[in-house]
Structure 1
Amino acid sequence: MSIEFLLTSLVVVLLPGTGVIYTLAIGLGRGFRASIAAAFGCTMGIVPAALASIVGLAAIFHTSAVAFTLIKYAGAVYLLYMAWSILRDKSALTVNAEREPVSLGRVAVSGMLLNILNPKLSLFFLAFLPQFVSIESANATALMLGHALVFMAITFVGFIGYGACAALARDYVIARPRVVSWLKRGFAGIFGFLGLRLALTDT
């Protein structure tokens, strides 16, 4: 496995996206333990896209307007739902010393759906993996699977790092309620923007 692949994967993982934003929001609002669940969910959400690209299904999304459009709008609706949920749920980003119980499974499932309902993730893997694996190789499929697993591992570790940073900022935020209010609006706005952008994109 090349150093170029590892460095490229690290850069891609660290770039702010829906998964990063979600993990930061959970880490800040629920703490480090919940952020690990968020990181795990977002990482597992990569599995369908990686498998789809490996078996060639991502190419169908690229050539079939109907398939891409259906998944695209499903993802856009879910992102908008996340924005609405943050604004509606008064405990979603409530930062206080007394943490309310939270279902880690629910946190993980929400993170997983964010990536599963993003059709561009499949297209990303379709373009990304073949750059580091020769199609002429006898075990090209196994090599791409191995690269996908390493990418997922880097994603999980990177997202845990983001969650840890957010959790460490809790004490600062606890003493500043107005910061929580603006962060809540900010996270909701980001999810709303990403949902609209996904819905309006043509490719």
Structure 2
Amino acid sequence: MEVWLLFIPACLALNLTPGPDIFFILSQALGGRRRAGILAALGLGVSYLGHTLLAVVGLSALVLQSATAFTLIKYAGAAYLLYLGWTSLRHASRLALPAAADTQSDWQIFRRGLTVGMLNPKVALFFLAFLPQFVTSDGGSVPWQLLQLGLVFTLTATLCNGAYGLLGQRLKHSLAGRERFSVYLGRISGGLMMALGARLALTRQ
């Protein structure tokens, strides 16, 4: 239970912070059709599910070969989260909303969201760095823990992205130019990632 009390708020904080995926969703939502943002969010959601499965398979195979190697991966992931957090803190800046997208079919929007997510190496690295931080020695099977964590992250990310898609038009008018809002969210995300990285580096599970 303690893991979930930390993991779910972390997912929400990270997924609500404006980033490339949210900018992509807004670019679709501001194109004129309300459902375009939802379709983009669903496409990204499926890509997150794909990254979850890849992380589970890869990390599970690593565990079977060497528990020490898995521990090293967790520490490498902690260092990566610290780097991401520091970068986010340094570059927290004005929220730059994208221009409206050209008219596309529903399938094209969904497929573009799926492609954007699956072909982004930073997303794959993030899953490999983020999920292992919440694997515990008394939590049962490592693959099962990773799968549960990945599914919950995918669900929260899709809900948050979908909300951005639904509120795209309102966000265009209410968030444009609000530099403090973007900086605040960027600092929350950066601080959270650094805290997660430090948590693993300083403690043993």
TM range (shorter): 0.5 to 0.7
Aligned equivalent of 2:141: 126
Distance 1:121 1:107, change over 3 A: farther
Aligned equivalent of 2:106: none
Distance 1:73 1:157, change over 3 A: closer
Deviation at 1:38, TM superposition (A): 5.6
Deviation at 1:197, TM superposition (A): 1.2
Alignment-mate amino acid for residue 96 of structure 1: L
Does the 8 Å CA contact 1:95/1:180 hold for their aligned counterparts?
no
Is 1:23 the counterpart of 2:15? The answer is yes
Does the 8 Å CA contact 1:76/1:195 hold for their aligned counterparts?
yes
Deviations 1:147-179 (A, max 9, x none): x5x986675444211112245373332253221
Q: Among 88, 101, 106, which residue is 1:86 paired with?
A: 88
Aligned equivalent of 2:97: 96
Alignment-mate amino acid for residue 96 of structure 2: V
Distance 1:38 1:202, change over 3 A: farther
Deviation at 1:75, TM superposition (A): 0.5
Structure 1 segment 9-158 matched on structure 2, within 5 A: 15-17=8-10, 19-25=11-17, 26=19, 30-32=23-25, 39-51=45-57, 57=63, 60-61=66-67, 64=68, 67-89=69-91, 94-96=95-97, 98=99, 104=116, 108-118=120-130, 119-120=132-133, 126=141, 129=144, 156-158=154-156
Alignment-mate amino acid for residue 115 of structure 1: F
| Seq. identity, % | 23
Deviation at 1:72, TM superposition (A): 1.8
Deviation at 1:85, TM superposition (A): 2.6
Aligned-residue CA RMSD (Å): 4.3
TM-score, scaled relative to structure 1: 0.57
Partner secondary structure for residue 95 of structure 2:
coil
Is 1:164 the counterpart of 2:169? The answer is no
Alignment-mate amino acid for residue 159 of structure 1: A
Distance 1:68 1:201, change over 3 A: farther
Partner secondary structure for residue 178 of structure 1:
helix
Alignment-mate amino acid for residue 16 of structure 1: P
TM-score, scaled relative to structure 2: 0.57
Aligned equivalent of 1:201: 203
Q: Where does structure 1 lack aligned partners over 5 or more consecutive residues? A: 1-7, 131-147
Q: Where does structure 2 lack aligned partners over 5 or more consecutive residues? A: 26-36, 101-114
Between the two proteins, the alignment pairs up a number of residues equal to: 167
